[in-house]
Structure 1
Amino acid sequence: MRLLVVEDDLLLGEGLCMGLRKQGYAVDKAMDGYQAIEMIEITEYDLIILDLALPNMSGWEILEKIRTYDLEIRILILSAKSFVEDKIKGLDMGANDYLTKPFDFFELEARIRNLLRQKISLEESVIVYGSISLDSTKRIVKVGEVPVKLTRKEFGILEYLIKNPEKVFSAEKLMEHVWDGDVDLFSNTFKYHMYSLRKKVADLDSVAAEMIQTVRGVGYCLSAKSMERGQ
Structure 2
Amino acid sequence: MKILLVEDELKLAGFVTEGLKHAGHTCDHVVDGGKGLETAMVGSYDLILLDLMLPNLNGFEVLKNLRSFNNKAPVIILSALNDTEHVIQGLDLGAIDYLKKPFDLDELLARVRTVQRRTLVQDSLKLQVADLKVDLLSREVYRASKQILLSNREFALLEFLLSNPNKVVTKSQILEKVWDMNFDPGSNIVEVHLYQLRKKMDRGYHQELIHTVIGRGYVLKGDVTKG
**Could you state the TM-score of these two structures normalised by the residue count of structure 1?**
0.89
State the partner residue of 2:64: 64
Q: Out of 37-46 and 87-96, give the one that drifted further.
A: 37-46
Q: Distance in 1 between matches of 2:206 and 2:60?
A: 51
The yes-or-no answer on 1:49 pairing with 2:74 is no
Contact 2:171 2:183 (C-alpha < 8 Å) held by counterparts: no
Equivalent in the alignment of 2:217: 219
Give CA deviations for 1:131-178 in whole Å, capped at 9, x if unaligned. Answer: 111111111111121221112221111112212312222121122111
- What one-letter code is carried by the residue in structure 2 that aligns with 1:69? F
One-letter amino acid of the structure 2 residue matched with residue 22 of structure 1: H
Question: Gaps (5+ residues) in structure 2?
Answer: none
State the alpha-carbon separation in 2 of the partners of residues 51 and 139 from structure 1.
31
Identify the residue that residue 77 of structure 2 maps to in structure 1: 77
Shift of 1:202: 2.3
Which residues of structure 1 form unaligned runs of 5+? 226-231
Which residue of structure 1 lines up, in the alignment, with residue 107 of structure 2?
A: 107
* Aligned equivalents of 2:158, 2:55: Cα separation in 1: 38
After TM superposition, the structure 1 stretch with the greater mean CA deviation from structure 2, 148-157 or 105-114, is 148-157
Alignment TM-score, normalising by the size of structure 2 = 0.91
Structure 2 letter corresponding to 1:219: G
Letter of the aligned partner of 2:121 in structure 1?
S
Runs of 4 or more off by more than 3 Å in structure 1? 69-72, 181-186
Partner of 1:197: 197
RMSD: 1.8
Q: State the alpha-carbon separation in 2 of the partners of residues 204 and 39 from structure 1.
A: 44
Distance 1:37 1:190 in 2: 30
Change (3 A) 1:141 1:5: same
Please give the secondary structure, in 1, of the residue aligned with 2:161. helix
Q: Which amino acid aligns with 2:55?
A: P
Equivalent position of 2:160 in the other structure = 160
Preserved CA contact (<8 Å) 1:52 1:60: yes
Distance (Å, rounded) in 2 between the aligned partners of 1:31 and 1:5? 8
Name the count of aligned residue pairs: 223
The share of aligned pairs that are identical, in percent, is: 39
Q: Distance between the aligned counterparts of 2:215 and 2:110, measured in 1?
A: 41
Q: Secondary structure at the match of 1:87?
A: helix
Shift of 1:44: 2.4
